[in-house]
């Protein structure tokens, strides 16, 4: 009794758990267990989502056993936005039809699904792009790194810097793709502004060497992000628009910004008035070391004020604590969802997890994709 009293006196915040429902913007979720965006390279010709992909997402869709929210694999907004073999797009009628089968399969199981909208910028290869064009970026300097193309791994190609008068056209492609997302039946979109891709290529002063209004100081480097988010929110509403940021990741040769706290603080102050469904933050190095660089994520959260989703190497204990302590509203799991279609149930029951096989992460068929077993029925 005394314990209960002490607890209720400590805070007026109602205690939530990882398994409680939450409304994020305009989207109602049955739990805070989120399936993180995961590139799997299994789309069909024309970069069209297929039945195998529908099966994979449907296996993870029931919020009682799977995810409260599925974020799709990164999906290019245009042919120039592609950087790897067989990633799906969302710019053609065939792609809308393919995605519609997936959203219907997820909704039939009571799930919720948003599409992650992606432009890779300079992380691409001429063989993947229309007419063998060079990739486009904020800069003409090439990234050091590899991508995956028809013949295997290859160095990324040298990009050309977008002309100032071309940028509005790329913003428009984000807007169009967001409209197609609703046509395809998605509950919303997540704009991919992380992991060294196009938007981050504008944000970081280690990459962006522009001398126009989209480079230079923090106001200039956040302009592209802001215009994209205003366009997408204007088209489908802030309550159906989320965003993913990775303030200190070194992924894809994204060198550290000279002042990430100020850069991302300003970015979030531009985002806060848009009334986004959520902000999704990769803490540390994507898929790696969480403490790679000091960063005050809680300060970003205070500026944002809306639903806060965390990601990167969360164990069950870390995730339970993050939500129970109020440090986060939602937790996104990546690799654990590859190997455990019923990850939600396993977290609830503290059941052992299947181990993902990294040889089948990218490309291939059903093996290592739709054949991971669920727990036997109770
Ligand atoms: C792994 C392989 C290819 C792309 C990301 C979309 O890091 C990706 C990605 C991950 O955000």
List, in order of start, the domains of the chain with CATH numbers. 24-360 (3.20.20.70)
CA of 3 to the centre of ligand 1 (A): 46
Q: Among 69, 113, 115, which Cα is nearest to 89's?
A: 115
pLDDT at 118 over 50: yes
C-alpha to C-alpha distance for 186 and 232, rounded to whole angstroms:
14
Integer angstrom CA distances of residue 40 from 23, 25, 110, 203, 356: 28, 28, 23, 26, 13
Distance of CA 193 from the midpoint of ligand 1 (Å): 12
Q: What tens digit of pLDDT does each residue of 280-327 get? A: 999 999 999 999 999 999 999 999 999 999 999 999 999 999 999 999
What is residue 330's predicted lDDT score, i.e. its pLDDT?
98
Residue 228 tokens, joined:
């994209």
Distances (CA, A) of 135 to 122, 128, 151, 171: 5, 9, 19, 16
Q: What is the pLDDT of residue 6?
A: 47
pTM beyond 0.85: yes
- What pLDDT is recorded for position 15? 84
d(CA 210, CA 166): 14
> How far apart, in whole angstroms, are the C-alpha atoms of residue 319 and residue 112?
20
Closest residue by Cα to atom 11, ligand 1, is 195
Average pLDDT, the chain: 96
CA distance 97 to 49: 8
Confidence bin at 251 (pLDDT 50/70/90): very high
User: 332 - beta bridge partners?
Assistant: 34, 311
- pLDDT tens, position by position, 138-160: 999 999 999 999 999 999 999 99
Convert the pLDDT of each residue in 196-240 to its tens digit. Answer: 999 999 999 999 999 999 999 999 999 999 999 999 999 999 999
| For ligand 1, atom 7: residue with the closest CA | 195
Which of ligand 1's atoms lies nearest the C-alpha of 120? 6
Ligand 1 centre and the CA of 38: distance in Å? 7
pLDDT in tens, 180-200: 999 999 999 999 999 999 999
pLDDT at 264 over 60: yes
Residues annotated as catalytic are 197
**Is the torsion defined by CA of 334, 338, 340, 342 positive or negative?**
positive
pLDDT exceeds cutoff 60 at 1: no
Q: How far is it, in rounded angstroms, from Cα 90 to Cα 116? A: 10
Ligand 1 atom nearest the C-alpha of 74 is 6
Which residues form ligand 1's pocket by a CB distance below 6 Å?
39, 74, 84, 195, 251, 286
Q: Residue 5's pLDDT is what?
A: 46
Mutational pocket test of ligand 1: of 36, 38, 39, the residue with most ligand atoms within 8 Å of the beta carbon: 39
User: pLDDT (tens digit, 9 = 90+) per residue, 65-98?
Assistant: 999 999 999 999 999 999 999 999 999 999 999 9
**What span, in angstroms and rounded, lies between the C-alpha atoms of 79 and 119?**
9
* Res 116 pLDDT > 80: yes
Confidence tier at 13 by pLDDT (50, 70, 90): low
Q: What b-and-e string marks burial along 285-294, b requiring 16 or more CB atoms within 10 Å of the CB?
A: bbeeeeeeee
Question: Ligand 1 atom 2: the closest Cα is on which residue?
Answer: 39
pLDDT number for residue 54: 98
The neighbour count for residue 111, using CB atoms within 10 Å, is 25
pLDDT of res. 377: 74
- What is the β-pairing status of strands 22-24 and 27-29? antiparallel
Question: Pseudo-torsion of CA 306, 192, 114, 87, nearest 10°?
Answer: -170
pLDDT digits (tens, 9 = 90+) for 21-53: 999 999 999 999 999 999 999 999 999 999 999
- Which residues, in sequence order, are bridge partners of residue 310? 281, 331
Q: Give the distance (Å) from ligand 1 centre to CA of residue 343.
A: 21
Nearest CA residue ID for atom 5, ligand 1:
195
């Amino acid at each position: 009794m005394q314990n209960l009293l002490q607890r209720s006196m400590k805070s007026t915040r109602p205690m939530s758990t990882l398994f409680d429902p939450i409304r994020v913007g305009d989207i109602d979720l049955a739990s805070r267990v989120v399936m993180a965006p995961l590139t799997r390279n299994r789309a069909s010709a024309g970069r069209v989502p297929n039945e195998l992909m529908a099966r994979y997402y449907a296996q993870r869709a029931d919020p009682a056993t799977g995810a409260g929210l599925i974020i799709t694999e990164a999906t290019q907004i245009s042919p120039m936005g592609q950087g790897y073999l067989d990633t799906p797009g969302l710019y053609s009628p065939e792609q809308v039809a393919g995605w519609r089968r997936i959203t219907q399969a997820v909704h039939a199981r009571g799930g919720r699904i948003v599409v992650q909208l992606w432009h890779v910028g300079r992380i691409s290869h001429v063989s993947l792009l229309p007419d063998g064009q060079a990739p486009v970026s904020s800069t003409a300097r090439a990234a050091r790194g590899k991508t995956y193309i028809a013949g295997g791994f290859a160095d990324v190609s040298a990009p050309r810097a977008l002309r100032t008068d071309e940028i509005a056209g790329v913003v428009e492609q984000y807007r169009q793709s967001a409209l197609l997302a609703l046509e395809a039946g998605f509950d919303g979109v997540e704009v991919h502004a992380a992991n060294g891709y196009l938007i981050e290529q504008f944000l970081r002063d280690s990459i962006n060497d522009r001398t126009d209004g989209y480079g230079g100081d923090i106001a200039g480097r956040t302009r592209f992000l802001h215009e994209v988010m205003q366009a997408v929110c204007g088209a489908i509403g802030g309550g159906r628009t989320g965003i993913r940021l990775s303030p200190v990741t070194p992924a894809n040769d994204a060198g550290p910004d000279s002042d990430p706290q100020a850069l991302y603080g300003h970015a979030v102050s531009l985002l806060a008035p848009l009334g986004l469904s959520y902000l999704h933050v990769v803490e540390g190095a994507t898929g790696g070391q969480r403490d790679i660089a000091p960063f005050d994520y809680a300060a970003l959260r205070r500026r944002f004020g809306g639903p806060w989703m965390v990601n990167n190497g969360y164990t069950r204990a870390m995730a339970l604590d993050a939500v129970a302590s109020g440090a986060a509203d939602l937790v996104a799991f990546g690799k654990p969802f590859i190997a455990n279609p019923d990850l939600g149930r396993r977290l609830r029951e503290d059941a052992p997890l299947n181990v993902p096989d990294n040889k089948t992460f990218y490309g291939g068929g059903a093996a290592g994709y739709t054949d991971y077993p669920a727990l036997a029925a109770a």
